[in-house]
Structure 1
């Protein structure tokens, strides 16, 4: 994934907005979120996940007593978009 992220820094990005023009999301956000969740699920199959992009897309945000990871895949997407 490190190679993917290095490449993503230099490529043109497909950018869309979530709640406003300043609330950006890229394909890299989605890729990184899925990558992190997949890797963690392998090691911690009973853990739950609340992830920024999934929640923004409509997934329910449910807190339980189970160990829960809260994931922000690319912190600072606006800076990332502008390289």
Structure 2
């Protein structure tokens, strides 16, 4: 669950929302639009770790994987061609 507050409310009660952010994200709006989200340090670190792991594998294909796909296509390409028709 996420709690949403206005920027002025957040500013007036920063301590309260800082504590709340330890349990759930706090979304801060400005002029009716979401501006920032306050997360606990633990949740932020988990997000950063997830993001890094995602980027680490993005666009990278090992030579072994390429060889496996090539072998599969060589051995089963006729079956796949039949399914495509």
TM-score w.r.t. the length of structure 1 is 0.22
RCO higher in structure (CA 8 A, sep ≥6): 1
Larger helix fraction of residues: 2
| Larger radius of gyration between Structure 1 and Structure 2 | 2
